[in-house]
Structure 1
Amino acid sequence: MTARYVELWRVPGAPLLLTGGVVARLGQGVTVLAWILLVRETTGSFVDASLVAAATSLATAAAAPVGGRLADRFGAARVLPWYGAAYAAAQLSLLAATLTGQPLVLLCALAALSGALFPATSPALRAAWTVLTADGTGRERIRTAAMAAESTLFELVFIVGPLLLSAAMLVAGPLAGLTGARPGVAGPAAAIVLAAACAAGGTAILARGQAMRRLEPQGHAPTRGLGPLRAPRMPALLLCAAGVAFSFGASPVAVAAFATTHDGDQAQAVTGVLIAIWSLGSAAAGLWYGARNWDTALSRQLTVLLAGLAVGYAAWAAMPNSIALGAVLLVTGAVIAPAMTVQANLMARIAPASMLTEAYTWLTTVNLTMAAAGSAVAGVIVDGPTGAIGGFVLCAVAAALATVIAAWPGVLAPRSVATPVPPDPARVP
């Protein structure tokens, strides 16, 4: 299993992509939760906290393709450091405004600014892996391993990030006693500063690597209008991603509702453990998937994986308690990283070479927008008579719709056309 990843590690520029990518994105696993805790602590309102978090996410979704297009036009190595530094500055400005009790409208405006400046690190990383494993490089066979490693490390960010926040909260307790600050403020604030430093420093380090410097403009005319959205099969791939992202946004809400029903006062802790178990299952399966050769067409692989995701969500609804749900989460999480890997591989084949980074940013836009929608809809459903079970069914339906799109003939793969058989001359009258 390790041979494929050893080969990947030896690719010039790969070690920096793997390690630097984790550092640059470490804050993504902590910032949303840290901002919710901090704004809630300073304003006393979860509504205010949710508005600030939503402003950040929606602005990132709206502006991500702009950053991707700039990276394609001027080179990711030039664009990413500026975005990383500007994003960090905006985050620190928002932190200062929050700690000094500024009005909510200013907090939302600064949150939107920081979201719009969020660096397109993940899209640029995927574009770099696509270039490093392009046809003709002799590394085509390790593209799946590269994309699987990328998906797995991204999962790792969302496992390590909350742990860092917990560590910051623990350290902030004694320090807050000495300085007079509230632990509920000092912990999240420290995590936000760390996340901003990682974004600025990590993107600057990534930009210095030879792999990122290869993402240079290829002499094509500047991209205009819809750009990569005009590529055949791109809308279908984004629709598949939308269904999956909707389910990903809804699932934590449904899991939290399930824990509230079954675990009472321990619901928050149990929810965190259940989500971590789901992520661990995904990370382990992603590594396993990337270490193997797959002859099946990518569109068929995606169909099977999304069908497995839909079945998994449906199985959650039948679980009697959180222990049973945790066991099923570990198993059903195994389709996530492989599905994201296949999705990235499809994007590498569908997107024009001169628009790779922007193409991957459209996945960011779809994922953030639909995850927010899924979370909002699930919140309404779990508060209703069906509770958590209704939320799980909602997730299953969203994944099933994505499966139908992936399986539809000619949508993600060209239709197979029968080759006409020439008549047998001996039988021609």
Structure 2
Amino acid sequence: MDAVDVIVTKRDGRELSTGQIDWVLDAYTRGVVADEQMSALAMAILLNGMNRREIADWTQAMIRSGSRMDWSGLPGRTTDKHSTGGVGDKITLPLAPLVAACGGYVPQLSGRGLGHTGGTLDKLESIPGWRASLSGREMLGVLGETGAVVCAAGEGLAPADRKLYALRDVTGTVESIPLIASSIMSKKIAEGTGALVLDVKVGSGAFMKTVERARELATTMVELGTDAGVRTVALLTAMDRPLGRTVGNALEVAESVEVLAGGGPADVVELTLRLAHEMLQAAGIDGDPERALRDGSAMDVWRRMIAAQGGDPDAPLPRAAETLEVTAPESGVLTGLDAYGVGLAAWRLGAGRERKEDPVSFGAGVVLHAGLGETVRRGQPLMTLHADDASRFERALAALDGAYVIAEGGAAEALPLVIDRITA
């Protein structure tokens, strides 16, 4: 085949054949198709889209570019969750041990943060000694011992996606729903889990800004999972405001431990429990997540899971060297709290990174003292900024300019925490 013919087919709005898709992704992974050619094809896909069969073929071709994981030796059913990312989204941390405490096996391959959205691995790496990189044998060992493992994906998992993702990032083609859906699902299907729950975020702090776009992405991913034989369901959840009261690596770990101890912010607890029920139901497991939180069994799994990956669950978490309090300029109701603005502030404080190779500050971030819809008084602390270097505060404060609104007698307008549920 010829790369130009494949590009022209999609440029002219026609369907790519299974053979064309298989060839172009294999050839690109091997270096036969050049970056500039794949860039042109990605732009053609962005502009002209793909149908369900094309997206399924594209996903399977990316899976075949690498290895697939097999958990058939485990004495129970596997189930996993994937979030499209947001601000304060620490749900994986309490959720994985909670589902494991209810009898599920959770093989969670996670990523690092980029820009204003946080990464699960960055959060867990704030725990002294904890390791994100595990071999396949180590993953299986931790999973068998504790029921849950959270780690980085190996180099052999969907290498075509890794190469294409980096290209999309620099060619303005990240927003293509067929390419987003196939990127996520190629890794999740290759991961080998039997059931999958997708948490598709909606709002200013999410990749999908509107419910309509989020529903389209969720539907596409549910179809891909179903076509591949993975029991898949998706929830559309709110990311117009931060999730919980903390944004930042060690800060979010501490909040997650609060949830496992039976406390924590109401929205984090609610979403953790809802996703746990969905994961157990998708896997056909009869479990009681509420009881697992109450009786401490989820916390027990957390401690074993952290220790099994070299971490010390009792070690003090990193703390930033500098803090700055942001107070309410007037009295009234907190009617607006923009997730993107808060996430951008946390990033500028050092909690996130601009490039994949950049380091993060484990102690940096934002602690919110007031939530959306709450009444505040003038001079009352709204949030505390944490940074290792006080020079970062000025740019963080600029990010927060307009990110919160206080109105006398006003009412907060916000999306419901769980907006919709998508099934095949």
Q: TM-score, normalised by structure 2?
A: 0.27
Q: Answer 1 or 2: higher relative contact order, Cα 8 Å, separation at least 6.
A: 1
Higher strand share: 2
Q: TM-score, normalised by structure 1?
A: 0.26
Higher helix share: 1
- Max Rg structure: 1
